[in-house]
Amino acid sequence: MALVNYIDEAQAEPRVKAVFDDIKQTRQVETINNFWLALANDPAALERTWSSLKAIMSPDGELDPLTKELIYVAVSITNGCDYCTVSHLAAARKAGLTVGQRNELLAIVGMANETNRLVQGYQVDIDPALHSYAAGL
Amino acid sequence: MALVNYIDEAQAEPRVKAVFDDIKQTRQVETINNFWLALANDPAALERTWSSLKAIMSPDGELDPLTKELIYVAVSITNGCDYCTVSHLAAARKAGLTVGQRNELLAIVGMANETNRLVQGYQVDIDPALHSYAAGL
Amino acid sequence: MALVNYIDEAQAEPRVKAVFDDIKQTRQVETINNFWLALANDPAALERTWSSLKAIMSPDGELDPLTKELIYVAVSITNGCDYCTVSHLAAARKAGLTVGQRNELLAIVGMANETNRLVQGYQVDIDPALHSYAAGL
Amino acid sequence: MALVNYIDEAQAEPRVKAVFDDIKQTRQVETINNFWLALANDPAALERTWSSLKAIMSPDGELDPLTKELIYVAVSITNGCDYCTVSHLAAARKAGLTVGQRNELLAIVGMANETNRLVQGYQVDIDPALHSYAAGL
Amino acid sequence: MALVNYIDEAQAEPRVKAVFDDIKQTRQVETINNFWLALANDPAALERTWSSLKAIMSPDGELDPLTKELIYVAVSITNGCDYCTVSHLAAARKAGLTVGQRNELLAIVGMANETNRLVQGYQVDIDPALHSYAAGL
Amino acid sequence: MALVNYIDEAQAEPRVKAVFDDIKQTRQVETINNFWLALANDPAALERTWSSLKAIMSPDGELDPLTKELIYVAVSITNGCDYCTVSHLAAARKAGLTVGQRNELLAIVGMANETNRLVQGYQVDIDPALHSYAAGL
């Protein structure tokens, strides 16, 4: 249960209202999610966070919107954030996620968490050739 | 520095050798990464892990190979696994990763980690509509 | 929902009662939080944990009580512990936390989580000068 | 070892150069840390991240600069980010950190990590009174 | 609240039914836990995961079943997974867990989380002798 | 590389010396590990931490010393603490760990990390019967 009041759109101060309007316009939605309603208790944080998120998740990037949401979900699951997992799975669905893709996403996230820990347990050394190749991008 | 010896391919027991051969064949590579050379100290774990990874990361899925690697990297960064971050960025490059995509990936991972924690700090409640939509897939 | 019964103060065994009394006296409160009521199922753990917490969070240290609670909240958010986030935000409020400080705390926690992961993604090397300076304290 | 080249200040493109100059001016330093030199491979991310960090860590806030750095270190330790732990301990020292404060910080971070997990193990329920008090700020 | 329907055993497709039957037979239980009912939405993942779990948690290993469940709980607590903590504590109880052992388990998990972070905060170097000894197994 | 000097046993102040002597006596060893040499920069933390660790890891408990070390390693791997993973695997070896047990430990840790995240991804609800059984201990 939230530790702050959700800011009422109708009574939001102008700078908050401006962000809310931009969220609705950018996402073509009619309601604002609880995350933004909560964050609006700190208008400067709301502006900063929305501005960064809008730029990072922009459909104009080199990664398509669905891929971006899959990455967001992968992080959210790994951090155990229920809100973020649910809300970004919803966003992924809106961007076209299929059931099969959702299942693959979850399987990869599970597998990665497993091998991450096997690597740590055996204390595996980075292969110089892999490092060079990754760094040579 | 690894806590086990890397298993020498030339002297590997048959069931380990079979996995190594399948890795080389499947990935069209000539050398086996340290992760598998370390895991080969537990042949049953090697077989299980490779078998699962091969299925999950298969190019026959609904997500393309590059997207799968991006998800793997997102988890690995969030878990702070250097080996996994480097090796799956290398795999992503092999699957076609561009510099721009790499930068977008890292920016999304950073952003998701930030908002995951803002959600936790404000204890934001899941929007029923988002849950329904995500669950309605 | 807790996996143990909360120990009834009135019926607690003497060593548990002694800790409960010390908590009330030290914090000038009349009720014991669920955390201690649960931990009292293991009296030795209760004694050890309270004894350490009392010393570490003592107002006699070089950091003031509010700062100590802010640090506690920062860890709790990052670990995704709802109970701990809520209870230490309550403790911080008791120690004088303002709304503005709460907002700054959450913004810093979010930002730190973001840059922690950017560092991991780019595999940034520690600057020798920074290490020397931090180690020279 | 970093996966990108550190951008040479002397040859940085104008928008990168502008951020570097602002970092030096704001912090009154003569060199740029590796984090920013790495992030400069993505000029837009560099601008966004520095802009947010500058605002969040500003000395004009309600929390003093040392407290802000202590919060940053607490998160960084909990996430296991060596670079971030070292660099923000260095920043904390610059902001006046004493040895005694450093020791208290580390003790609180350790304690919080311990009790976070005890809470999870016993599945302790949030005390309604604590929630109300924290939410009543 | 789950994001998928729990698969009805009576109407499960044959490959799912086969796994469910094997779970019941192997564990000598009459009902299937929600985890498997959820995972059955992805039959291939259900087969893979059950097959691996069955092998890893087999009573034929060198570690006894109770010890295996304790390790599972330790990880689950550290990851903040409520479902996993509860379900594997239940499994541990079935394998003979006593109240005293449960308390010791939780105390160790708490302690390990604390010292893990103290190590990170002080950036302690691995003792060469400890590494050699651990690697010499 | 450590951020503090390792305290020289020969020149340690009396309360530090007393802890070092107790560590040597209790563990029947002749040298003190880096962790304690670093923590000795904060004598009160050294005393508290050793006192708690000595009690929690005592061979007089209901869990045997090897099992206790396995739990410690499981947490350390999941937190990505290299020092802790190595040093507690060394302690486990001293307590009798076999290669087969080490392999099983790592496999369970990997598996638990995987299923923890599958549970989070599907947002699986706790089975009431499992909760009752775990809570009925």
Report helix, strand and coil shares of chain D as percent, to nearest 5.
70, 0, 30
Residue E52 backbone dihedrals phi, psi, to 5 degrees = -70, -45
**Number of neighbours of residue E29 by Cβ within 10 angstroms:** 11
Residues of D whose CB is below 8 A from B106:
42, 45
pLDDT at E18: 98
d(CA D94, CA D66): 9
**Do F111 and A106 count as a contact with CB atoms less than 8 A apart?**
no
Structure tokens given for C119: 């560092």
Structure tokens given for A133: 């190749």
**Number of neighbours of residue F64 by Cβ within 10 angstroms:** 13
Query: Scanning the structure block, which residue is given the tokens 């080969």?
Result: B40
Work out the burial of residue E93: count CB atoms within 10 Å of its CB; fewer than 13 is exposed, 13-18 middle, 19 or more buried: buried
Which distant-in-sequence residues (6+ apart) come within 8 Å of F18 by Cβ?
none
Structure tokens given for E29: 């239980």
Work out the burial of residue F94: count CB atoms within 10 Å of its CB; fewer than 13 is exposed, 13-18 middle, 19 or more buried: middle
Question: What's the pLDDT tens digit per position in F36-88?
Answer: 999 999 999 999 999 999 999 999 999 999 999 999 999 999 999 999 999 99
* CB of E123 closer than 8 Å to CB of D82: yes
Query: Which pLDDT band holds residue F19 (cuts at 50, 70, 90)?
Result: very high
Q: Which residue of E has its CA nearest to F32?
A: E127
- Residue of A3, A41, A42 lying closest to C86 (CB–CB): A3
- Residue of F42, F79, F80 lying closest to D103 (CB–CB): F42
Which distant-in-sequence residues (6+ apart) come within 8 Å of D1 by Cβ?
A131, A135, C123, C125
Structure tokens given for A120: 């740590």
Type of residue numbered F91: A
Q: At what angle do helices F99-122 and E65-78 cross, to 10 degrees?
A: 50
Structure tokens given for E16: 């799912």
pTM score of the predicted model: 0.98
* CB of D42 closer than 8 Å to CB of B103: yes
Q: Could you say which DSSP state residue A40 is in?
A: T
d(CA E65, CA F124): 24
Structure tokens given for C49: 């944990």
* CB of F9 closer than 8 Å to CB of F20: yes
* CB of C19 closer than 8 Å to CB of C36: yes
**Do F45 and D107 count as a contact with CB atoms less than 8 A apart?**
yes
What single string gives the DSSP state of each residue in A96-121?
T--HHHHHHHHHHHHHHHHHHHHHHH
Interface test with C, best of D52, D66, D108 (most C CBs within 10 A): D108
**Do A103 and E45 count as a contact with CB atoms less than 8 A apart?**
yes
pLDDT at A9: 93
**Residues of B within an 8 Å Cβ radius of F:** 3, 41-42, 45, 48-49, 79-81
* CB of E26 closer than 8 Å to CB of E50: no
d(CA E40, CA E17): 9
**Do E83 and F119 count as a contact with CB atoms less than 8 A apart?**
yes
pLDDT at F18: 98
d(CA E106, CA E113): 11
Query: Which pLDDT band holds residue B10 (cuts at 50, 70, 90)?
Result: very high
Chain F touching partners, 3 or more CB pairs below 8 A: A, B, C, D, E
Q: Which residue of E has its CA nearest to C43?
A: E103
d(CA C99, CA C83): 20
* CB of F121 closer than 8 Å to CB of A106: yes
pLDDT at C108: 98
Q: Which residue of B has its CA nearest to A90?
A: B134
Interface test with B, best of E48, E63, E116, E125 (most B CBs within 10 A): E48
- Count chain B–chain C contacts defined by CB atoms under 8 A: 62
Candidates E110, F35, E92; CA nearest to C44 is E110
Q: At what angle do helices F82-94 and F65-78 cross, to 10 degrees?
A: 160
Query: Scanning the structure block, which residue is given the tokens 């990390």?
Result: F113
d(CA D20, CA E124): 32
**Do F52 and C48 count as a contact with CB atoms less than 8 A apart?**
yes
Type of residue numbered B120: Q
Structure tokens given for C105: 């705390």
pLDDT at C58: 97
Question: What's the pLDDT tens digit per position in D20-60?
Answer: 999 999 999 999 999 999 999 999 999 999 999 999 999 99
Residues in chain D: 137
Which distant-in-sequence residues (6+ apart) come within 8 Å of D115 by Cβ?
C35, C49, C53, C84, E110
Structure tokens given for A29: 């939605």
Tell me the nearest-neighbour CA distance from C80 into chain E, angstroms. Answer: 7
d(CA E86, CA E73): 8
Structure tokens given for B19: 């996995």
d(CA B50, CA B44): 10
* CB of F49 closer than 8 Å to CB of E88: no
d(CA C133, CA D93): 8
Interface test with D, best of F1, F3, F49 (most D CBs within 10 A): F3
- Tell me the mean pLDDT per 10 residues along chain D, length 137: 96 97 97 98 98 97 98 98 98 98 98 98 98 97
Average pLDDT for residues E52-71, to the nearest whole number? 97
Query: Which pLDDT band holds residue F137 (cuts at 50, 70, 90)?
Result: very high
Query: Scanning the structure block, which residue is given the tokens 């073509």?
Result: A28
* F109 three-state secondary structure: helix
CA D11-D12-D13 angle, to 5 degrees, is 120
d(CA E60, CA C131): 49
**Do B107 and D45 count as a contact with CB atoms less than 8 A apart?**
yes
Candidates A73, A105, F1, A112; CA nearest to B85 is A112
Chain D touching partners, 3 or more CB pairs below 8 A: A, B, C, E, F
Interface test with A, best of B1, B9, B116, B133 (most A CBs within 10 A): B116
- Distance from chain centroid for Cα D85: 8
Residues of A whose CB is below 8 A from E48:
107
- Count chain B–chain D contacts defined by CB atoms under 8 A: 15
Q: Which residue of F has its CA nearest to A73?
A: F121
Express as a percent the part of chain F with pLDDT over 70. 100
pLDDT at C112: 98
pLDDT at E61: 94
Task: Mark D40-79 as b/e (b = at least 16 C-beta within 10 Å).
Answer: bbbbebbbbbbebbebbbeeebebebbbbbbbbbbbbbbb
d(CA F119, CA B131): 16
Average pLDDT for residues C50-76, to the nearest whole number? 98
* CB of A94 closer than 8 Å to CB of A68: no
Q: ipTM score of the complex?
A: 0.98
Q: Could you say which DSSP state residue D11 is in?
A: G
Q: Which residue of A has its CA nearest to D133?
A: A3
Question: What's the pLDDT tens digit per position in E5-55?
Answer: 999 999 999 999 999 999 999 999 999 999 999 999 999 999 999 999 999
**Do A42 and C107 count as a contact with CB atoms less than 8 A apart?**
yes
**Number of neighbours of residue B108 by Cβ within 10 angstroms:** 25
pLDDT at B47: 98
Structure tokens given for F124: 């699986």
**Do C106 and A42 count as a contact with CB atoms less than 8 A apart?**
yes
Tell me the nearest-neighbour CA distance from C53 into chain F, angstroms. Answer: 10
Chain E touching partners, 3 or more CB pairs below 8 A: A, B, C, D, F
pLDDT at D98: 98
pLDDT at C106: 98
Candidates F73, D67, D72, B6; CA nearest to E111 is F73
Domains of chain D, start order: 1-58 (1.20.1290.10), 60-136 (1.20.1290.10)
